[in-house]
Amino acid sequence: MYAFDIKRPRSVEEAVAALADGEAQALGGGQTLIPTLRQRLADPGTLVSLSGIAELKYVRMEGDVLRIGGGTTHAQVAREAAAHYPALASLAGRIGDPAVRNRGTIGGSLANNDPSACYPAGALGSNATVVTGAREIAADDFFQGLFETALDEGEIVTEVRFPVPEAARYEKFIQPASRFALVAVFVARFAGGVRVAVTGASESGVFRWAEAEAALAADFTPEVVRGLTVQAEGMIGDLHGSAEYRAHLVGVITRRAVEGALA
C-alpha cells in the first residue's frame, strides 16, 4: 500500500469539497478499494471516507419507489428492504460473506462496477436511478463497461431509487472458491415490460439481454427462454470457466430467475 491521507467528512457537502482535489478518491465500505490499495494498483493520495456521513444511510419507501442511501451497507439493505423489495434484499443478503455485507455499500459497489458484482445487475434489472449530488442517472446510462460508469471525478452516489417490480428474482451461479458470480441474472417484471440484467458473464460488464426481455414480456415463463442463446463471443473466458460455458449459463440462470420470480 502506498501512503495516503484520509478525510472523514460528516456531510455530503463536506465530502464533495474534499473530493474537489483531483488526487482524492471516495472510499465507501472499502471492500474493493482497500484490497486494490494493498496490491498497489491504486495511489489515490487522499481517501475521502464516506462512512461517517449519517445522511447517506437509509432504506425507505416513498410512494412506489424504494430509496436507498448511497452509504447503506448490504446488510442493512438485506434487513430493511425485505418488506418492500424482497428480490433486492435477497440479492444484498447473498453478496460475499457477513464481513463484506457489514462493510460494503451500495454506492461503492455501483461506482466500482465490477463485472462480477451483484448490485449492478440489481440496479440495471430494476431500471433504477442513480442519484448524485449533481444529477440523476438512469441505470441504462450509468454502466459503461468494465469498471466504467457515468460518474465524473469526485461525483458521489448519494441515493439509488428502485421502482419496485411486480415480480423479480436474482439468481446467482457462484464460483465456489471466491463465491463471486460466475454468471448471475436479475429478472424483473414490471407492468410495462420485463428487464433481464446479466452480471459476471460479459467482458464489458453488466448487460441487458434484450432477446430474453422481449420474449418474457410476451409470456413471462421459463419456457420462452429455452430456445434463446447468447453468443459466446464477448463473454469472459478465464480460469474459472470458458466463454462458451458462461454463455450457456446465461440461459440456464435466466430461466431459474424467472422460475424464482414466479414462485
Partner 1 sequence: MSVGRPIPHDAAVLHVTGTARYVDDIPAPHDTLHLCFGLSDTACGEIVAMDLAAVRSAPGVVAVLAAEDLPNSADTSPSAHDEPLLATGRVHHMGQPLFLAIANSHLAARKAVRRASVEIREEPAILSIDDALAADSRFEEGPRFYRKGDANRAIAAAPHRLEGRIEIGGQEHFYLEGQAALALPQEGGDMVVHTSSQHPTEIQHKVADALGLPMAAVRVEVRRMGGGFGGKESQANALAVACAVAARVTGRPCRMRYDRDDDMVITGKRHDFRIDYRAGYDDDGRIRGIEFRQFARCGWSQDLSLPVADRAMLHADNAYLLDDVTIESHRLKTNTQSATAFRGFGGPQGMVGIERVMDEIAHALGCDPVKVRRANYYADAAPGDAAPAPAPLDDGRDAPADTHADLTSRGTTETRGQPAPPPSGAQTTPYHMAVEDFVLGEMTERLVESADYRGRREQVRAWNAGNEILKRGLALTPVKFGISFTLTHLNQAGALVHVYQDGSVHLNHGGTEMGQGLFRKVSQVAAHRFGVPLERIRITATDTGKVPNTSATAASSGSDLNGMAVKAACDTIRDRIARLIAERHQARAADVRFGGDRVHVGGESYGWEEAVRLAYENRVSLSATGFYKTPKLEWDRIAGRGRPFFYFAQGVAATEVVIDTLTGENRILRTDILHDCGASLNPAVDMGQIEGGFVQGAGWLTTEELVWTDKGRLATHAPSTYKIPACSDRPRVSNVSLWDGRNREDTIYRSKAVGEPPLMLAISVLMALSDACAACGPHYPALDAPATPERVLAAVRRAREGAR
Q: Which stretch binds partner 1 (CB under 8 A): 43-51, 79-87, 196-204, 233-241?
A: 233-241
Q: Which stretch binds partner 1 (CB under 8 A): 45-53, 80-88, 148-156, 246-254?
A: 246-254
CB neighbour class for 62 (10 Å; exposed up to 12, middle 13-18, buried from 19): exposed
- Figure out which of the listed residues 70, 154, 200, 241 binds partner 1, where binding follows CB under 8 A: 241
Asked if 239 is part of the footprint of partner 1 (rule: CB under 8 A), the reply reads yes
CB neighbour class for 133 (10 Å; exposed up to 12, middle 13-18, buried from 19): middle
CA distance 9 to 82: 30
Asked if 242 is part of the footprint of partner 1 (rule: CB under 8 A), the reply reads yes
CB of 219 to partner 1, least distance (A): 20
Reduced to 3 states, what is the DSSP secondary structure of residue 45?
coil
Using the minimum distance from each CB to partner 1, give the nearer residue, 22 or 35.
Answer: 35
Using the minimum distance from each CB to partner 1, give the nearer residue, 3 or 177.
Answer: 177
- Figure out which of the listed residues 146, 232, 248, 259 binds partner 1, where binding follows CB under 8 A: 248
Spatial CA neighbour of 183 closest among 128, 127, 255, 129: 255
CA distance 255 to 76: 29
CA distance 127 to 124: 5
Question: Which residues, in sequence order, are bridge partners of residue 6?
Answer: 47
Asked if 259 is part of the footprint of partner 1 (rule: CB under 8 A), the reply reads no
Q: Which three cell numbers stand for residue 31?
A: 471492500
Reduced to 3 states, what is the DSSP secondary structure of residue 262?
helix
Asked if 176 is part of the footprint of partner 1 (rule: CB under 8 A), the reply reads yes
Count of residues binding partner 1 (CB under 8 A)? 12
Asked if 9 is part of the footprint of partner 1 (rule: CB under 8 A), the reply reads no
Question: Which residues, in sequence order, are bridge partners of residue 195?
Answer: 188
Asked if 177 is part of the footprint of partner 1 (rule: CB under 8 A), the reply reads yes
Q: Which stretch binds partner 1 (CB under 8 A): 111-119, 158-166, 169-177, 228-236?
A: 169-177
Under a CB-based contact definition with an 8 Å cutoff, are residues 96 and 179 in contact? yes
**Residue 105 φ then ψ, to 5°:** -120, 160
Using the minimum distance from each CB to partner 1, give the nearer residue, 58 or 245.
Answer: 245
Q: Which stretch binds partner 1 (CB under 8 A): 130-138, 149-157, 185-193, 244-252?
A: 244-252
Contact residues for partner 1, defined by CB under 8 A: 173, 176-178, 239-242, 245, 248-249, 252
